Structure 1
Amino acid sequence: MTWTVDAQLALTATQAVDALQSGRLKAVDYVATLLARAAALSHLNALTTLDLDGALAAAQRIDALPATARARLPLAGLPIVVKDNINTAGLPTSAGTPALEGFVPAMNAPSVQRLVDAGAIVLGKANMHELAFGITSTNFAAHAGPVRNPYDPSLIPGGSSGGTAVAIAARIAPAGLGTDTGGSTRIPAALTGTAGFRPSVGNGGAERRYHDSDAVVPISHTRDTVGPMARSVADLALLDGVIAGGAALPALALEGLRIGLPAPLWDGLERQVEDVARVALQKLEAAGVTFVPVAMSELDYLNGMVGGPIAIHEARDDVLAWLVANRAPVQTVAALAARIASPDVRAIYDEVLADVLGTHYPTALNYWRPRLQRYMAATFADANLDALLFPTTRLTAVPIDDLKGSSTVSIDGGPPIDTMEAFLRNTDPASTSGIPGLSLPAGMSASGLPVGLELDGPHGADRRLLAIGVAFEQVLGAPPAPVL
């Protein structure tokens, strides 16, 4: 079979693996096509590093395998991108910040290694919001720059995993890895018409689904996790199965599913976001889904008592531990912070260094977080819910702020709202309570921008949540590709 460039670019991860395993598509040809695509779309700033020689050499090794060996690799020849705060042996891991520019870790993060062992090929490192402390991916570091939304390059793609999302949406790669502390896989997925997954974390210890410990430039060990990103939920399930193991997705019928609609997360939406989301609900209800309104009147208060103190307090010790464990070029948080390029991130690190929320941390971690977790678990149990569903973000992508990187936004002409708070509101509860969250495309707004829907599930129900997402995307369909 002769593959046109357009046919290769259109492949989802699962489709690409099928073609690569069977030998119908050569890994070298596919990788070369995507590398050329990356070069042609460099103005989007999706990548900080492109590994031309390494990716082509890895593709040659895949093509040289006997057919039986290639067929046994779950990801044989699949090109991926990896967020620039996730350790990669042989490739820089800078977290988008000047003090770490050019730093190359000794080993891959475990999640990366599992994908590579399964046959995946790392094309390069994906750009991001500096040090992952933001949701716009407007990066002021000279080696990074602002990531641009492929549906409109004057707009943000969301963050902090904006580069991974843009590479996937722009057909530079079919899949990749991001990280998520408060919404960093799900927000950019929603704003770029892609899918992003935050796996279960629980209390941040042994019960977490992915185990990357000191292999990611951190914010918070309690809240951080690596997460797969792709153009379909089926692709997320493929990557998740390789990283965490487990059985195939359970068989699932839409008829009889009980999905909760949490009132606080449907309030105060941009009109065009609500319009798309309501149409999606109608399609899913017609397919057999039962929607259950849930008040969740304490959600905003409980979540507000948890998130900030944990992230701001844990960042100082956790970043220091990563710097020391990885023998980074700077060995103190102060030295790292002194060279931060993005104004919004510099302001956050002033708070980190001063430990401004340190006195609130013990109560947030040991009292308010368990209370939030019990509240979330009771919501699922009391209403017999399979998942919660709501718009991933309150609004569509907004213009890039070239001066500050993060400022305020207005929803339908209303009063100004802090940009980070506006975009984090709906994604943050899953993060602070440690449960799995999934964003999938809901449709396109009246202004031609992607809108995402988020599904949250009980802790540990990751594979079932992904199965629900696969069933939902079969009803909702995929958004159109950006015109580039």
Structure 2
Amino acid sequence: MTWTVDEQLALTATQAVAAIQSGRLKTTEYIATLLARAAALSTLNALTALNMEGALAAAQRLDALTPEARAALPLAGLPIVVKDNINTQGLMTSAGTPALESFVPRENAPTVQRLLDAGAIVLGKANMHELAFGITSTNLAAHAGPVRNPYDPGLIPGGSSGGTAVAIAARIVPAGLGTDTGGSTRIPAALTGTAGFRPSVGNGGAERRYHDPNAVVPISHTRDTVGPMARNVADLALLDEVVTGAGPLPAITLNGLRIGLPEPLWEDLEYALEDVVRAALPLLEAAGVIFVPVEMDALLELNDKVASPVAIHEAHDDVPAWLVANDAPVKTLAEVAARIASPDVRSIYDAILADPLAQQYQTALTVWRPQLQELYAQTFAAHRLDALLFPTTRLAAVPIDDLAGSSAVTINGSAPIDELSAYLRNTDPASNAGIPGLSLPAGLTSEGLPVGLELDGPLGSDRRLLAIGVAFEQVLGALPAPTL
């Protein structure tokens, strides 16, 4: 059959794989269409590197396979982008920072390799907030630039995985990889009308579902994880199945599903965003979902005691360890810090170099984090909850600050709030607890800006959580594509 450009751009990951597996769509045609799309939308700054020759060569190899061999590949011909802090063999991995812009890894990160082995094709590296230390993706490095929201290029797309989210929302690719330390797959998903997943991390070891040791430019080994991003939850489930070897999603019925509404995460929301997320609740109730308000009064206080000590102290040790393990062009934290381009990230690295929270670190890790994990476990058990539901962010996208990388925001005329703290409030607690989190589109504000809802589940409930997300998005529907 003959595919128009618009038909190709509209394909979800699952649809694209099915079309290529069946031979109805040539991989070379599809890749060429998306490479042209990437070039046409370069002003969005979604990508730091385009893998033009490599992607076309991979497409040709896939088209040359026998129909049986091509049909056997779970991700046959699927174009993806990979966040620029995840190692990719032969492609720059700079973490969006000048000190690493010449670094090309020797090997792919294990998660990347599993997708490639299944037939995926890396179209390019995705732009990001410099060194992943921010939630705007306003990167002021010359080789990167601020990532722009396709629903309004003057607004942030969220971060730090903003480039991956924008490439997906703008129909440059149907899926990709981000990383998540405090919300970095879920926040940009919410602000760009896409879906983002943070898999279970737990206390590491067998509880960690995505294993990429020394293959991601780090912040915190306790909190960091790679996570899939896509246009819908079904596509997230497809990538997650390939990465983990999990089986099909479990069967889910919404009738009788018990979903907790954590009160601290529903407070002090932007009015326009609150209108959208609260309008979603009666739609889900009509499908049989039972909503259970839960107090979780200690949630934000416990999270505050864990978040900064773990991230700042672990970055102090983890970043140099990655530099040495990967034979990077610089070997010390000070060398990386000296060339940081974004003022907001530079101030964070000043703190990392000084390591002022080292004395609080052990208490955060051994006292407060276990208490946070226990609060979640008790909440799920006491109320017999299948998941928690809340707005992924407190507010929709705000204007880009081209000078500082991030700035203060106001919510409903409030006093200025630190932008990082405002956007992280709802996503950070689950990150610190190590449980799985999923953001899916909830709708558009009156100004046409995307809003996300997040589902968090018990540790290890990843496949069930994704199944709940698929059922929710069938009720809530997909968002219209941005007009570009």
TM-score class, shorter-chain normalisation, is over 0.9
Superposed, 1:121-270 pairs within 5 Å as 121-270=121-270
Q: In 2, distance between residues paired with 1:158 and 1:86? A: 18
Look up the match of 1:299: 299
Look up the match of 1:408: 408
Which deviations, in whole Å up to 9, do the C-alpha atoms of 1:444-476 show, x marking residues without a partner? 001100000000000000000000000000000
Look up the match of 2:290: 290
Look up the match of 2:381: 381
Q: In 2, distance between residues paired with 1:346 and 1:371? A: 32
Look up the match of 1:68: 68
Question: Is 1:342 aligned to residue 331 of structure 2?
Answer: no
Look up the match of 2:31: 31
Q: In 1, distance between residues paired with 2:49 and 2:15? A: 26
Letter of the 1:287 partner, please give it.
A
CA apart distance, 1:124: 0.4
Q: In 2, distance between residues paired with 1:26 and 1:461? A: 37
Find the residue that maps to 1:261 and give its secondary structure: strand
CA apart distance, 1:414: 1.2
Letter of the 1:349 partner, please give it.
Y
CA apart distance, 1:253: 0.4
Which stretch of the first structure deviates more once superposed, 206-215 or 260-269?
Answer: 206-215
Find the residue that maps to 1:206 and give its secondary structure: helix
CA apart distance, 1:207: 1.8
For the 8 Å contact 1:93–1:104, the answer to whether it is kept is: yes
CA apart distance, 1:402: 1.0
Identity %: 78
Question: Is 1:367 aligned to residue 341 of structure 2?
Answer: no
What number of residue pairs does the alignment pair up?
484
CA apart distance, 1:314: 0.1
Question: Is 1:271 aligned to residue 259 of structure 2?
Answer: no
Look up the match of 1:55: 55
Q: In 1, distance between residues paired with 2:135 and 2:323? A: 23
Q: In 2, distance between residues paired with 1:403 and 1:87? A: 29
Question: Is 1:112 aligned to residue 123 of structure 2?
Answer: no
Which deviations, in whole Å up to 9, do the C-alpha atoms of 1:215-270 show, x marking residues without a partner? 00000000000000000000000000000111100011000100000000000000
Instruction: Give me the CA root mean square deviation.
Output: 0.5
TM-score, with length taken from structure 2: 1.00
CA apart distance, 1:205: 3.0
Q: In 1, distance between residues paired with 2:302 and 2:379? A: 14
Find the residue that maps to 2:49 and give its secondary structure: strand
TM-score, with length taken from structure 1: 1.00
Q: In 2, distance between residues paired with 1:72 and 1:389? A: 37
Find the residue that maps to 2:207 and give its secondary structure: coil
Superposed, 1:345-356 pairs within 5 Å as 345-356=345-356
Letter of the 2:18 partner, please give it.
D
Q: In 1, distance between residues paired with 2:373 and 2:408? A: 30
For the 8 Å contact 1:435–1:456, the answer to whether it is kept is: yes
Find the residue that maps to 2:214 and give its secondary structure: helix
For the 8 Å contact 1:250–1:467, the answer to whether it is kept is: yes
Letter of the 2:361 partner, please give it.
Y
Letter of the 1:216 partner, please give it.
V
For the 8 Å contact 2:129–2:139, the answer to whether it is kept is: yes
Letter of the 1:31 partner, please give it.
I
CA apart distance, 1:149: 0.2
Find the residue that maps to 1:122 and give its secondary structure: strand
For the 8 Å contact 2:86–2:217, the answer to whether it is kept is: yes
Q: In 2, distance between residues paired with 1:130 and 1:405? A: 9
Look up the match of 1:432: 432
Which portions of structure 1, spanning 4 or more consecutive aligned residues, are displaced by more than 2 angstroms?
none
Question: Is 1:281 aligned to residue 276 of structure 2?
Answer: no
Q: Which runs of 5+ in 1 are unaligned?
A: none
